[in-house]
Structure 1
Amino acid sequence: MNLLPLLLTLLPGAALAAAPAAPSPLKLTASTSVVTKTTKDGKTTETLTDASRVGVVPGTTLDLAQTFQNVSARELGGLKLSMPVDKAVIFQSAGCTVAGVTTLYSVDGKTFGPAPLKKTVTVTENGRQVQKQVEVKPSEYRAVRWEIPTLKAGASGRCAVRATVR
């Protein structure tokens, strides 16, 4: 826990010498790629192209990825990697290359749970208003969170969301 903000709040007149920030033990890189599938001789191949280099139009499938590496000499634990799903895209799927990861989803970007998510809706049955629990469609997901229990020293991984441009 970083106590510096608390100390600055409690000691408003105190002058603290700034210590050099420790390097992060986790190197994180985000990318957005266009997914292109081609079929040749019955085999489908997938190509990822940096989205800034090609046109993105409605119907384009995107790969929204976060790659990460533990650059420290020790194991990291309790990592939570979150990715918002913009309203300009329709969520399709999520995946992660790290063993033991738990993938959670959200419709509001604040509360997360395992799929399938549920919501309460009010419907009319036999002339009466009734509340029912129904499954949330994946297209309604607005965020994904991957909880990574441990990442060994030097280990790396990739977590990604597939989405279609509206």
Structure 2
Amino acid sequence: MNKTQMTKALVAALLAAPALAGSAGAQNSPLKVTASTLLVTEVKADGKTVEKLTDTANRGVSPGDLLQLQQRVENTGRGAVRQLKLNMAVPAATTFLGQQCDVQGVTALFSIDGRTYAAEPLKKFVTVTENGQDVKKEVTVNPSEYTNVRWQLPELKGGGVVTCFIRATVK
């Protein structure tokens, strides 16, 4: 599989995952998850620069484009859902820039391997050569290396809606 095919597969998996989560083994779940990928552009309106979000479903994207990949979660039940974890992969064809989630008390965790998550700043060990010796050093991970984001929500009340998103540029 070449890089373009892999990128398309990863983006397709990212967009399909919430739909599958809503149907596979979750028939009784009160959660409805909707994923979307939006192109972020700046436009002038009434003399001010504002952001415009355009759905990318029927259009392509180009290197350098800014994307907002978001998941909207609605609790269609009456009771609260507690300890909700919402995961999002950063597509390989993009570079992570930032994240946001519009709910009180949310904890954002990040990963560089898709398995282990931690709060920022992430740390990793690298081997460097100093005076002819290999030395392991702990360094701070650049956010552009993040591969996944996890939002931990303490509670989503019955009828509640939350939107979490990442922003990333197309490579």
Q: TM-score, normalised by structure 1?
A: 0.83
Which deviates more, 36-45 or 82-91? 36-45
Within 5 Å, give how 1:86-125 maps onto structure 2. Answer: 86-125=91-130
Deviations 1:2-42 (A, max 9, x none): xxxxxxxxxxxxxxxxxxx7532111100001001124566
Q: Please tell me the residue identity of whatever aligns with 2:115.
A: K
* Deviation readout 1:116-142 (Å, 9 max, x if unpaired): 110000111222211100011111110
Structure 1 consecutive aligned stretches of length 4 or more whose deviation exceeds 3 Å: 39-42
| Secondary structure in structure 1 of the residue aligned to 2:57 | helix
How far apart, in 2, do the equivalents of 1:157 and 1:79 lie?
A: 11
1:83 maps onto 2:88 in alignment: yes
**Greater per-residue helix proportion:** 2
Q: Verify: 1:162 aligned to 2:155, yes or no.
A: no
Structure 1: where are the runs of 5+ without partners?
Answer: 1-20
Larger Rg: 1
TM value normalised by structure 2: 0.81
Secondary structure at 2:98's aligned position in 1? strand
Q: CA deviation at 1:103?
A: 0.2
Which residue identity does 1:24 align to in structure 2? Answer: S
Number of equivalent positions: 146
Identity %: 51
Aligned to 1:36: 41
Q: Secondary structure at the match of 1:139?
A: helix
